[in-house]
Amino acid sequence: MRRRIAAGNWKMNMGLEASVELARKVKDFTGIHAHSVDIVVCPTFLSLARTAGELEGSGIAVGAQDCYHESQGAFTGEVNPELIRDAGGSYCIVGHSERRTLMHETDKEVNLKVKSLIGGCIVPIICVGETLAERQALDTMNVVRGQVMRAYAGIEPEAAARTVIAYEPVWAIGTGLNATAQDAQAVCRAIRDTVRYIYDDTTADSVRILYGGSVKADNISDLMSEKDIDGALVGGASLKAAEFGKIIQAIAGMIQ
Ligand code: PGA
């Protein structure tokens, strides 16, 4: 049985004190669920170490929002998996659609990042998803399958099995629109079948697949009733401890 994940992507929000304060509230409201689901919060790089310090011993993990694939050296402005781990991080989001769009991140770069994270013992949360134009052109499955295939190029099955994929339709991120649970399930199923095609049943049945895109307390339960959805990557709603708490509770509730 796959352990569920509730991950909060804080994006470029929350200064140092605000991050620590939000982490404390998440711990107070929902720390109790950390034994049954993996709870992860992803602050900015600047707040990562202090947030991890605040959450130490709580069972709540901390993740970064991006990384660079090189191990060290003259790469001004970049942060590698080793530095993320040193600061207390154990997860890292890669290939988020905002980075693919705004920073022109490619599938090749996503693949390099996934490899470096695996090497650095950090769990990658690999984001995939179609744009509105791609959806309207009925191209969703092709786009998502291609992103998954390229993200895992050259990665061994044992390592792939421990990664996390987040299906985030680009048109649903931060827009208040979200895929129906049935639509999200169909794509998450196709993602799992793609992992099966690349590897084998064991790997496909181990990979955890999250849905992301305007997840809220009032739509999470429907999503979590679907077979191939193992949790959520939450943006805006993860900045409010009470709302995120309800989402975590719903994710945990389904397995009690
Ligand atoms: P949202 O963001 O929940 O605000 O739509 C999700 C994400 O970008 O990971």
Half-sphere exposure of 2 (CA within 13 A, CB side): 24
- Domain membership flag for residue 135: yes
Query: How many domains does the structure of the chain reveal?
Result: 1
Distance between Cα 180 and ligand 1 center (Å): 15
- Domain membership flag for residue 162: yes
For the Cβ of 179 lying below 6 angstroms from any atom of ligand 1, the answer is no
Mean pLDDT of the chain: 96
pLDDT digits (tens, 9 = 90+) for 96-109: 999 999 999 999 99
- Domain membership flag for residue 256: no
- Domain membership flag for residue 18: yes
Query: What's 245's domain CATH number?
Result: 3.20.20.70
- What residue numbers bound the domain in which 141 lies? 5-251
- pLDDT, residue 176, reads 85
For the Cβ of 245 lying below 6 angstroms from any atom of ligand 1, the answer is no
Distance of CA 202 to the CA centre of its chain: 21
Averaged pLDDT for residues 122-139: 96
- Domain membership flag for residue 41: yes
Whole-number percent of the chain with pLDDT over 90: 92
Q: Which of 33, 54, 69, 96 is catalytic?
A: 96
Distance of CA 178 to the CA centre of its chain: 17
- pLDDT, residue 255, reads 46
Q: Whose CA is nearest to atom 6 of ligand 1?
A: 235
pLDDT digits (tens, 9 = 90+) for 58-82: 999 999 999 999 989 999 999 999 9
* DSSP reduced 3-state for 240: coil
pLDDT digits (tens, 9 = 90+) for 201-214: 999 999 999 999 99
**Range scoring the smallest mean pLDDT among 137-151, 200-214, 240-254:** 240-254
- Domain membership flag for residue 189: yes
- pLDDT, residue 47, reads 98
Q: Which residues contact 214 (CB under 8 A, 6 or more apart)?
A: 172, 173, 174, 175, 176, 177, 178, 236
- pLDDT, residue 256, reads 39
Rounded to whole angstroms, the Cα distance separating 36 from 26 reads: 15
- Domain membership flag for residue 19: yes
pLDDT digits (tens, 9 = 90+) for 23-71: 999 999 887 888 899 999 999 999 999 999 999 999 999 999 999 999 8
**Predicted confidence band of residue 254 (pLDDT cuts 50, 70, 90):** low
For the Cβ of 178 lying below 6 angstroms from any atom of ligand 1, the answer is no
* DSSP reduced 3-state for 127: strand
- Domain membership flag for residue 159: yes
Rounded to whole angstroms, the Cα distance separating 42 from 48 reads: 8
For the Cβ of 125 lying below 6 angstroms from any atom of ligand 1, the answer is no
Burial level of 203, CB count in 10 A (0-12/13-18/19+)?
buried
Q: Whose CA is nearest to atom 2 of ligand 1?
A: 235
- In this predicted structure, the answer to whether residue 151 has a pLDDT above a threshold of 60 is yes
Q: Whose CA is nearest to atom 3 of ligand 1?
A: 235
Whole-number percent of the chain with pLDDT over 70: 99
Rounded to whole angstroms, the Cα distance separating 4 from 194 reads: 20
